[in-house]
Amino acid sequence: MIRVLVVDDSNSVRALLMHILGTAPGLAVVGCAADGEEAVKLARELQPDVITMDLHMPRMDGFEAIRRIMRECPTRIVVVSGSDDRAEVDASFRAIEAGALVLVRRPLGIGNPAHADSARDLVRTVKAMAEVRVVRRWSDARRAARPLQGAPRRLVAVGASTGGPTVLRDILAELPADYPLPVVIVQHLAPGFMDGLATWLGEASGYPVEVLKDGAPLVGGRACLVPEGWQATLGPGLVGRLVLAPPEHGMCPSVSHLFRAIDPELRPATAAVLLTGMGKDGAAELKLLREHGALTIAQDRASAVVYGMPGEALRLDAAMLVLEPAEIGKVLARLPAEPFPSSVFPTLGDLP
pTM of the model: 0.86
What average pLDDT does the segment 316-322 reach?
95
pLDDT digits (tens, 9 = 90+) for 208-238: 999 999 999 999 999 999 999 999 999 888 9
Which DSSP string do the residues of 103-147 spell out, in sequence order?
Answer: EEEPPPPTTSTTHHHHHHHHHHHHHHHTTS-SS-------PPPPP
The rounded distance, in Å, linking the Cα atoms of 235 and 307 is 30
Where are any strands of DSSP class E within the chain?
2-7, 27-33, 50-53, 76-81, 102-105, 155-160, 183-187, 209-211, 223-225, 231-234, 240-243, 270-274, 295-299, 321-323
**pLDDT given at position 10:** 95
Q: Rounded to whole angstroms, how far apart are CA atoms 23 and 16?
A: 11
> Which residue out of 8, 49, 54, 281 is catalytically annotated?
281
350 noted as active-site residue: no
- Listed in sequence order, the residues at least 6 apart from 347 whose beta carbon sits closer than 8 Å to its beta carbon are none
256 is catalytic: no
Question: In this predicted structure, what is the pLDDT of residue 88?
Answer: 73
* DSSP state at residue 280: -
What is the structure's pLDDT at 135? 54
The type of residue at 288 is L
Catalytic option among 8, 54, 170, 188: 188
Catalytic residue among 8, 9, 35, 161: 161
Mean pLDDT for the chain overall: 89
Cα(146)–Cα(291) distance, integer angstroms = 22
